[in-house]
C-alpha cells in the first residue's frame, strides 16, 4: 500500500514553506527567454534589432521629428555579434537610463491608453538580459537630450535576483555632431541570417509601414542598405484617451471607485472615463437605482455590481479614435510600389472599431502580378502598430482571417484551410491603443472575434478590388486572342475579297487592319499598368 | 516640412521621464490575462480548475499520499461560477497561505530542478487575480497541516499595484474529518461547457495520466462523476538534481562564479553541478588553461570564457534521470483500456534525453479500432508532467511531430501536413525538470529540436507496433475470406466426392470442415483482441 511511503503532512508542509519564495520577473524571463523571442540564435539577433528600432521610432514620434535610425551588426566572435542602433530621438534623461534599459516591466507606455510600438516595458531590457546571459557583457548606452547637455554613457547589467540595474560604468562623453538622440550597443550570442526571418527583411518592412523614416543598415560583411523616406511628414501623433466604460471589468471598477478622488459617482465617470457624459451617467445611475451624487467610497458591493450591469445596458458613444494612427491607404500603396514591381495595387483603411472597449483600426493592401512568383503561396506581411510581425505566422489571428477568406471569389487559387496561391503580396495592419498579442514576444495577434471580423472585412474590400481587376484583364485577354486570331486571317480574307471586288489586296488588308485597331484600340495597344 | 511640428528634444525627454515607472507583474498579467489562459469565459473556468487540481496533485506527491481530489463547480449568477477544489495533501503553513495564493511568481517550484506540474508560481494566483478582476470577490482558502493544528481560513485579494496579498479575512475554523489538506474557492466570470475543451474532459485525462488519483467531480447541474484509481501505489517521488554543465550559459556561469562560496574552481563545479566529477573538472581546467585550484572570484572574463568553451569540449555523463517520473508503459495502456474500447493498444517509454542540459523523457501510447470513429482525424491527447494540454494544439511541438510522422507506413490515412485519420487515440507525454512551454498558460510545448526528435522516435515505436497489427489483421481477413469461400463450396465438393467414393456425404463434409478448422484454427475462431 502507498500508505507505507506516506510522509507526515505537517513535516512536508513545513519543508515546502521553507522553499516558497518570490521570484523576480527577471529570473522568470531568464528561464523563459523563448517567451520574449529569444528561443534560437537567429531570432535572438533579429528580436534585439526589432526592440531597439521600435523604441527609437516611438521616441522620435514623441518628438514629431523625422526619424533617422542607423542599425549596425558586427560579428565579435563565433556566434557572437554586437547590435548597435542609433537614433535622432529626444534622448533619455540621465537618471532614467539605467531603469529603461536594465529593468523589466519598466517604461512609459504600459498604462498609457495610446498607440505605440512598445507597450510592456519589457523588450529592450529583455535584449540586455539576453546579452548578459549569453556573453556576460554589459549593454552600452549613450544618450543626449540636447546640445546644451552633455551626452551620458552607461554600461549596464541587470541584477536579475532583484530586477534592478547594476551600473558598471557611468560617465559624460563627447558626442560630436549629435544634438540629441540615443545609441544602444548590445553584444549577444546570435546567428546572422538573410531571408524572410532576417534583419534585412525586418527593416525593409519597417520602411513600408514607416515611410517617413530613414533607415540605414550596415551588416556584418560591411554591406550597407539605405531605405530613404518616401513621406516628408511624420504621421500625426496619436492622442492619449481614457478607458471606455464598455471595457471595464467589475473588479477593476470596484478598485477605481475605492481609489478615486471624485466626490460623486457622476464626477467619477465623467473624469475617469471617455464618452461618459452627464447624460450617460444619469442613465447608468437610474438603471442601477443609485443616485448620481452618491459617494463612490460608500457604495456597497451590490450597488457597484448594479452599476456594472447598468453600463452594458446604456448606449454609449464609441471611444474617440484620434488615439489611432493608421498608415493610410495612399501611403501604403506608395510604400508597396516603392519596393515591389506589380501590375495592380489596392488598399483600404477601415474606420475604427472596438474590442473590450479598446479602439483599434485595420488596414489592408494588396499587390498583384508583375515580378511576383506565380506558383507559391501569397506573401503575407503583418503589421501591428506599424511594427512588422515576422514570426508565429500560423498562430496569428491575421493569418487565420486570410485563410478564412474565400479568395477564389477574387480570382486566386486556394485549397482548404490554406493561404491562397498566386503572384500576390498582401499587407495587413492593426493599429490599436492596446494590441492583444499571444505572447510577450509580440509576434502574433490573439484571436479576438471583433479583430478577426475587421480584418476579414478589410481583406474582402481589397479582395473585391482585385477581383474586378482580374475579371477585366481576363476579358481583355480573351478579346485580344480573338482579335489576333482574326488578324491572322486578314491576308486570306483580303485576297479572296480582292478577287471578288477586283480591289488591290494590300489596300483591303490595310483597311481591315485599321478597322480592327479602331474597334479594339485598347486590345491592340499595350496592356496598361492598372 | 515635418520640422515645423517638431518639439524640443529636452522637453520631450523630461515629459517621458515623468511617465516612466515600474509596472508590477500583477498589473502586467491583469492586462495580458490571455497569456495565462483567461482569454475567454469557457477557458477561464477550465484553466482555474486546471491550476487548482495541478497544485493539489503536486502537494500530494510531496507527501507520497494517494490523492483524493474533489472538484466542484457551482453557478452563482449569469456567467458567474465558483470553483471549489479540495485535496488531502499536506496543507500549507499559515503564514505562507497569503503568499501562495495572492502573489504572482511566488512558489516553491520555480528554482527547483525537479519534475512538478506547476513550475512558475503563477497559475493559482492568476486564477485568484482573474476572479478578483471579474467578480471583485476574494479567494477563500481553508488549509490544515495535521490534526494537532487547527484549520486556517483566509479570504484574500491581490494588491495588484504591489503584487502583494491583501488579507480580507483570517480565522481558525472547524474542519471535521479532515486531518490535513487544502480547500480553495474562487468565484469568477466564466462559462461552463462540456466537450473536448471542457472541465470533464480535463479531469478524464488527468485520471489517465495519474491513475493513482481518485477524482470526484460535481458539476453545476449537480451531476457527479467519479474516476476511481486504477493504481494502488503513488509513483516514486522524483528527485531534485543540480544543473548539468552542458546547460549553463556564459553569463550565468560568470554570476555563479561571483556568488559561489566554493574556494576553488574544482569545488565550485563538484558542489554546484551534477556529473562534474573531479576528473571532468580536471579536463575542463586543462583545456581552459587554468588551475582547478584557482579562486572563482579571481578569474578574469577571458578565463571564464575559456572555461565556458572548455565545458563543451569535455565529455560529461548525461544528467541523472531519477529526477524524472514517467507514467510507465504498462500503466499508460491500462489507463487507456480503462476509458476506451479498442481492438489494439501499444505504448512506449523512451529512455531519458537532454535539451540545454535539462533531462526529459517522452512516452507515447496508441489505441486502435473498436468504438473509435473511423473517418475523423485521430484524437491526440497531450501531457506535460502528467498534466493534460487541452489548448493551442496547433502551436505545440508534439502536434508538429505527429504531423511530421508518415503514418501511411503504419496503415493510417494521412494527407500532407495534417494529422492522420482513422479510429485512433494517440497519447504523447513529456516529463521534464523544466518543460519549455510556448506561453505562461502552459498549453503548448516549444519547438526544441531535441524534444521534437524524441517525440518522433516514440511515435515511430508505437507506429511500428500498430503497423504490424494492421498487416497481421489484413492478412488474417484475406485468409478468412478465402477460407469461408472454400467452406461455402464444401457441400458441393462433398456430394461429388460422395458419389465417387460411395462414402456418406455428411461424413465427408464433417471431415472437410474439421480439416479446414485444423489448418486455419485462428481464422475460423474469433478475432482476437491483440
3-state SS, one letter per residue, for B165-181: EEEEEEEEECCCCCCCE
Separation of alpha carbons A99 and A93, rounded Å: 11
CB contact under 8 A, B136 and A250: yes
> Is the same domain home to A307 and A368?
no
B8 in a structural domain = no
> Is the same domain home to A63 and A187?
yes
CB contact under 8 A, A180 and B149: no
The pairing of strands A379-384 and A344-349 is unpaired
A2 in a structural domain = no
Last residue of a domain, one of A168, A192, A227: A227
Give chain A positions within 8 Å (CB) of B103.
Answer: 22
Residue A148 has what pLDDT? 93
> Is the same domain home to B204 and B165?
yes
Residue B529 has what pLDDT? 40
| Lowest pLDDT segment from A83-87, B112-116, B277-281, B366-370 | B112-116
Q: Which range of residues forms the domain containing residue B159? A: 26-227
> Is the same domain home to B39 and B76?
yes
What are the pLDDT digits (tens) for A476-521?
Answer: 887 787 778 778 888 888 888 888 888 788 888 888 888 777 766 5
> Is the same domain home to B272 and B137?
no
Last residue of a domain, one of A176, A197, A227: A227
> Is the same domain home to B456 and B486?
no
Residue B30: closest CA among chain A residues belongs to which residue?
Answer: A252
What are the pLDDT digits (tens) for A115-144?
Answer: 889 877 788 999 999 999 999 999 999 999
- The residue among B94, B93, B90 whose CA lies nearest residue B61 is B90
> Is the same domain home to B67 and B152?
yes
Residue B417 has what pLDDT? 83
Q: How far is B205 from chain A (nearest CA, A)?
A: 22
State the average pLDDT over residues A395-417. Answer: 93
Residue B3 has what pLDDT? 47
Give chain B positions within 8 Å (CB) of A438.
Answer: 34-35, 439
Nearest Cβ partner for A19 among B108, B255, B434:
B108
Band of residue B220 on the pLDDT scale cut at 50, 70, 90: very high
A518 touches B: beta carbon within 8 Å:
no
> Is the same domain home to B347 and B492?
no
Give the three-class secondary structure for B274: coil
Give chain A positions within 8 Å (CB) of B89.
Answer: 9
Nearest Cβ partner for B108 among A20, A146, A446:
A20
> Is the same domain home to B128 and B193?
yes
Question: The domain spanning residue B38 has which CATH number?
Answer: 3.30.565.10
B2 in a structural domain = no
Question: The domain spanning residue A309 has which CATH number?
Answer: 1.10.8.50
Separation of alpha carbons B158 and A318, rounded Å: 31
B373 in a structural domain = yes
Residue B493 has what pLDDT? 82
Residue whose C-alpha cell is 522637453: B11
CB contact under 8 A, A7 and B146: no
- The residue among A368, A372, A363 whose CA lies nearest residue A411 is A368
B235 in a structural domain = no
What are the pLDDT digits (tens) for B137-157?
Answer: 999 999 999 999 999 999 999
- CA distances to A396, B389, B392, B398, B488 from B395, rounded to whole Å, are 10, 11, 5, 9, 55
Ramachandran assignment for B328, one of left (phi > 0), alpha (psi -120 to 50 degrees), beta (any other): left
| Number of domains into which chain A is organized | 4
Question: The domain spanning residue A337 has which CATH number?
Answer: 3.30.230.10
The residue ranking higher by pLDDT, B258 or B460, is B460
Q: What is the ipTM of this complex?
A: 0.81
State the average pLDDT over residues A21-32. Answer: 86
Nearest Cβ partner for B394 among A22, A180, A394:
A394
pLDDT beyond 90 at B257: yes
Q: Where are the beta strands (DSSP E) in A357-479?
A: 358-368, 379-384, 387-389, 424-432
CB contact under 8 A, B28 and A436: no
Residue A157: closest CA among chain B residues belongs to which residue?
Answer: B251
A44 phi, psi to nearest 5 deg: -55, -40
Separation of alpha carbons B256 and A59, rounded Å: 37
State the average pLDDT over residues A239-252. Answer: 89
> Is the same domain home to A39 and A100?
yes
State the average pLDDT over residues B299-313. Answer: 94
Rounded-to-10 torsion of CA A56, A60, A66, A68: -30
B1 in a structural domain = no
State the average pLDDT over residues B77-87. Answer: 96
- The residue among A382, A385, A411 whose CA lies nearest residue A399 is A382
CB contact under 8 A, A251 and B133: yes
Residues with Cβ within 8 Å of residue A286, at least 6 apart in sequence: none
Residue A487 has what pLDDT? 80
User: pLDDT averaged over chain A?
Assistant: 90
What are the pLDDT digits (tens) for A428-442?
Answer: 999 999 899 988 889
A260 close to A272: Cβ distance less than 8 angstroms: yes
Band of residue B527 on the pLDDT scale cut at 50, 70, 90: very low
What are the pLDDT digits (tens) for A105-115?
Answer: 988 777 667 88
What are the pLDDT digits (tens) for A184-199?
Answer: 999 999 999 988 889 9
> Is the same domain home to A445 and A381?
yes
> Is the same domain home to B190 and B289?
no
A48 in a structural domain = yes
B162 touches A: beta carbon within 8 Å:
no
Amino acid at each position: 500500500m502507498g500508505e507505507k511511503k506516506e510522509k507526515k503532512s505537517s513535516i512536508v508542509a513545513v519543508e515546502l514553506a521553507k522553499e516558497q519564495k518570490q521570484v523576480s520577473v527577471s529570473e522568470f524571463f531568464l528561464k523563459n527567454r523563448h517567451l520574449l523571442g529569444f528561443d534560437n540564435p537567429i531570432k535572438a539577433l533579429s528580436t534585439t534589432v526589432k526592440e531597439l528600432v521600435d523604441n527609437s521610432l516611438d521616441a522620435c514620434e514623441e518628438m514629431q521629428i523625422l526619424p533617422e535610425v542607423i542599425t549596425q551588426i558586427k560579428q565579435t566572435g563565433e556566434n557572437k555579434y554586437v547590435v548597435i542602433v542609433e537614433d535622432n530621438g529626444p534622448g533619455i534623461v540621465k537618471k532614467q537610463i539605467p531603469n529603461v534599459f536594465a529593468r523589466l516591466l519598466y517604461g512609459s507606455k504600459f498604462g498609457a491608453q495610446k498607440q505605440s510600438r512598445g507597450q510592456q516595458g519589457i523588450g529592450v531590457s529583455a535584449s540586455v538580459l539576453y546579452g548578459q546571459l549569453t556573453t556576460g557583457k554589459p549593454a552600452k548606452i549613450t544618450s543626449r537630450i540636447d546640445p546644451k547637455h552633455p551626452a551620458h554613457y552607461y554600461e549596464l547589467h541587470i541584477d536579475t535576483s532583484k530586477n534592478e540595474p547594476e551600473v558598471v560604468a557611468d560617465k559624460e562623453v563627447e558626442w560630436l555632431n549629435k544634438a540629441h538622440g540615443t545609441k544602444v550597443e548590445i553584444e549577444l550570442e546570435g546567428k546572422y541570417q538573410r531571408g524572410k526571418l532576417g534583419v534585412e527583411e525586418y527593416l525593409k518592412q519597417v520602411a513600408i509601414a514607416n515611410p517617413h523614416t530613414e533607415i540605414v543598415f550596415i551588416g556584418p560583411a560591411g554591406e550597407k542598405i539605405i531605405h530613404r523616406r518616401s513621406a516628408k511628414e511624420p504621421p500625426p501623433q496619436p492622442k492619449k484617451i481614457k478607458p471606455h466604460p464598455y471595457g471595464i471589468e467589475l473588479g477593476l471598477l470596484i478598485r477605481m471607485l475605492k481609489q478615486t478622488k471624485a466626490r460623486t459617482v457622476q464626477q467619477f465617470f465623467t473624469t475617469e472615463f471617455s464618452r461618459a457624459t452627464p447624460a450617460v451617467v444619469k442613465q447608468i445611475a437610474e438603471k442601477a437605482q443609485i443616485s448620481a451624487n452618491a459617494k463612490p467610497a460608500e457604495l456597497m458591493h451590490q450597488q457597484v455590481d448594479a452599476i456594472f450591469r447598468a453600463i452594458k445596458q446604456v448606449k454609449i458613444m464609441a471611444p474617440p479614435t484620434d488615439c489611432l494612427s493608421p498608415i493610410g491607404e495612399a501611403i501604403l500603396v506608395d510604400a508597396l510600389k516603392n519596393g515591389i514591381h506589380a501590375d495592380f495595387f489596392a488598399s483600404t483603411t477601415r474606420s475604427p472599431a472596438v474590442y473590450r472597449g479598446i479602439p483599434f483600426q485595420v488596414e489592408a493592401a494588396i499587390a498583384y502580378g508583375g515580378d511576383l512568383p506565380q506558383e507559391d503561396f501569397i506573401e503575407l506581411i503583418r503589421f501591428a502598430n506599424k511594427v512588422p510581425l515576422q514570426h508565429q505566422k500560423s498562430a496569428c489571428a491575421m493569418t487565420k482571417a486570410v485563410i478564412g477568406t474565400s479568395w477564389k471569389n477574387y480570382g486566386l487559387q486556394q485549397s482548404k484551410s490554406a493561404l491562397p496561391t498566386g503572384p500576390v503580396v498582401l499587407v495587413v495592419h492593426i493599429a490599436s491603443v492596446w494590441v492583444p498579442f499571444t505572447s510577450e514576444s509580440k509576434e502574433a495577434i490573439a484571436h479576438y472575434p471583433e479583430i478577426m471580423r475587421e480584418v476579414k472585412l478589410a481583406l474582402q474590400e481589397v479582395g473585391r478590388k482585385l477581383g474586378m481587376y482580374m475579371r477585366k484583364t481576363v476579358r481583355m485577354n480573351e478579346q485580344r486572342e480573338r482579335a489576333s486570331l482574326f488578324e491572322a486571317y486578314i491576308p486570306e480574307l483580303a485576297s479572296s475579297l480582292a478577287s471578288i471586288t477586283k480591289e488591290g489586296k494590300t489596300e483591303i488588308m490595310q483597311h481591315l487592319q485599321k478597322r480592327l485597331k479602331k474597334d479594339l484600340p485598347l486590345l491592340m495597344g499595350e496592356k496598361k499598368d492598372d
